[in-house]
Structure 1
Amino acid sequence: MTEVVPGGGLRTVGFPMSKADANPDLWSGAEVSDDQIRALALGAYYCRSWGAYNDTVAFTPELAGSKETRQEATVEGLHDAWGVDNADDARETIRRLLAGMHAPLFTLIHPLAAAASREAYRPDRSSIANGHREFLQVLSQFRGYDNTSGLDRDYDAWLQAIKLGITDGLPQPLNTDATAWDLARVVFIARSAHTAGYLDEEEAWTHMLAGLEIAQQHYRNWRQFGSGFLTGAIFWAATRDLAAAKEQVGERRRMLSALHSRPSSPWRRVALHPGTPVFGTTPS
């Protein structure tokens, strides 16, 4: 049985993250290349929360005692969390993630909100924040956003997250490249769509390897990638529910820390870049 979790993923109910982190990561022993392991490892966070193998495209093995098969769970999850019901839906979602679904919004909004958070309170409308809102409202109209999804609303949510100290729990200095958040979900969608029967394995690999190429352009190691993922995840959550975002910081940090430290983790098996140290222990 599964439940939808923030970020469009799924968590296996009855497989708590704290307990999962005490257990070794799962490997089937499949013959895959290092680059294929790297591509899958972009989505290691979701692989772990699903209790799945780190070297298969499909979410396997089946979970003992579950009332749903993996295929049933992914069909349900893709529909409920992503509105994906077929191959074309999956391809379009992956295309948008590869092009940048939420990372570009963070790149735009964070510097503005960070600057406004440092400004002393001013009761008039000449504050820097009001100037930012007016700019973002115009940009939202230009991009065709409706009144419920304007950039100024995301800006206000992130500004509050900064002022409330929610971002203090993120790696510092704050990673302003949240591309990893989108790329991890490329892997999640590709694996889910294959498990659901929408995409064949070859096509799923094509999408995931495209994500790997982008990740290698943006990050030096898994530590940087993990920081980008966490930053993007909390930004996404904050634009929807500040209380939930606050709760997620610790949980997601623990999951990522375990991916860096467990000997069985895919992030300890291969480096993000061939020929570089496996342990990404240098500061981000």
Structure 2
Amino acid sequence: MAEIAAGGALRIIGFPMPKGHTSPDLWSGAAVSDDQIRALAVGAYYCDSWGAYNDTVAFEPELPRRKETRREATIEGLHSAWGVDNADEARDTIRRLLAGMHAPLFTLIHPLAVEASVESFRPGRTSIATGHREFLQTLSQFRGYEAASGIDRDYDAWLQAIKLGIVNGLPQPLHTDATAWDLARVVFIARSAHTAGYLPEDEAWEHMLAGLAIAQQHYPNWRQFAAGFLTGAIFWAATRDLAAAKEQVGERREVLYALQSRPTSPWRRVALHPGTPLFGVTAGT
């Protein structure tokens, strides 16, 4: 599965599945609680793309006919895509994701871009977009966003994604809470850091359970979580490469739909909130 590195480049990381393929849902039978399954399921997208167990912290089992072991792959993936080479760097990345690495930026930019996308040109009048850029440049001096130095460029990219109709392939009405995008990557980093040997298992669980608690505050079910994840993923992709973002809408949506519909999926095994019914599935959502 193609992933966008923290530095902006598109790269293939880990053990990617062939395009158009989603892995079967693998279960080791480990003795884990429902809440632990939920915590892992927050990162189910990456578990699927890595062909890993849904009930272990380490990315297992080893896959046949691979030159790299899981440990070697996670060490390389953390280094090349995230600049993470040790436990402290993994903890710092997880901390920033839990605090909101990209979701707050989307929350800020999206309504401005929507407003500008419907503006009619009027000769001699300063455009709404120009005012937005000036506002964002000023704000970036005072707010600690991950992409603060290029916040106006991110705005322009998302404005173009709206105008070009790239966002039309996302669940509608467009989900405006992209927190799931950050939280799914908390699970990915925690699992990768444990697999690489940087974090002990009990600490990885602590980080993932913290992510689960935030997910439960933001979303009523896995369907809404998936919509938030996809929106955040495409926003992030659009700020790097609009063509790649357009391509990723269908690819990522296919994986998320499969997670919602396969009977063996972790999203079908446990609801996001204990005691609530599992969602129904309708085509195209």
TM tier, smaller: over 0.9
SS of residue matched to 1:5: strand
Aligned counterparts, 1:46-65, within 5 A: 46-65=46-65
Residues of 1 paired with 2:261 and 2:61: CA distance?
24
For the pair 1:6 / 2:9, whether they are aligned, the reply is: no
**Residues 222 and 280 of structure 1 are in contact (CA less than 8 Å); yes or no, is this contact kept in structure 2?**
no
Residues of 1 paired with 2:84 and 2:146: CA distance?
22
**Residues 27 and 54 of structure 2 are in contact (CA less than 8 Å); yes or no, is this contact kept in structure 1?**
yes
Residues of 2 paired with 1:39 and 1:281: CA distance?
22
Moved more, 273-282 or 24-33: 273-282
- 1:112-163 CA-partner distances (Å, limit 9, x unpaired): 0001001112354511111101100111123478999321111000000000
**Residues 223 and 280 of structure 1 are in contact (CA less than 8 Å); yes or no, is this contact kept in structure 2?**
no
**Residues 87 and 199 of structure 1 are in contact (CA less than 8 Å); yes or no, is this contact kept in structure 2?**
yes
Percent same amino acid among aligned pairs?
78
Code of the aligned partner of 2:258: A
TM-score (norm 1): 0.93
Residues of 1 paired with 2:19 and 2:61: CA distance?
18
Residues of 2 paired with 1:273 and 1:147: CA distance?
32
Residues of 2 paired with 1:63 and 1:121: CA distance?
56
Name the residue aligned to 1:85. 85
- 1:37-60 CA-partner distances (Å, limit 9, x unpaired): 000000000000000000000000
**Residues 179 and 232 of structure 2 are in contact (CA less than 8 Å); yes or no, is this contact kept in structure 1?**
yes
Code of the aligned partner of 2:41: A
SS of residue matched to 2:267: helix
Residues of 2 paired with 1:274 and 1:17: CA distance?
34
Code of the aligned partner of 1:118: V
- Cα distance change of structure 1 residues 117 and 85 upon mapping to structure 2, 3 Å threshold: same
Residues of 2 paired with 1:165 and 1:108: CA distance?
20
- Cα distance change of structure 1 residues 147 and 84 upon mapping to structure 2, 3 Å threshold: closer
**Residues 74 and 195 of structure 1 are in contact (CA less than 8 Å); yes or no, is this contact kept in structure 2?**
yes
**Residues 7 and 233 of structure 1 are in contact (CA less than 8 Å); yes or no, is this contact kept in structure 2?**
no
The structural deviation recorded for 1:20 is 2.6
User: Given the alignment, which residue of 2, 13, 19 partners 2:21?
Assistant: 19
**Residues 10 and 46 of structure 1 are in contact (CA less than 8 Å); yes or no, is this contact kept in structure 2?**
no
**Residues 101 and 146 of structure 2 are in contact (CA less than 8 Å); yes or no, is this contact kept in structure 1?**
no
Residues of 2 paired with 1:180 and 1:148: CA distance?
21
- Cα distance change of structure 1 residues 147 and 209 upon mapping to structure 2, 3 Å threshold: closer
TM-score (norm 2): 0.93
Stretches of structure 2 lacking an aligned partner (at least 5 in a row): 7-11
Name the residue aligned to 1:212. 212
The RMSD of aligned alpha carbons is: 2.1
The structural deviation recorded for 1:69 is 0.4
The structural deviation recorded for 1:12 is 1.8
Name the residue aligned to 1:278. 278
Give the aligned length. Answer: 279
Residues of 2 paired with 1:257 and 1:43: CA distance?
14
Residues of 2 paired with 1:272 and 1:167: CA distance?
26
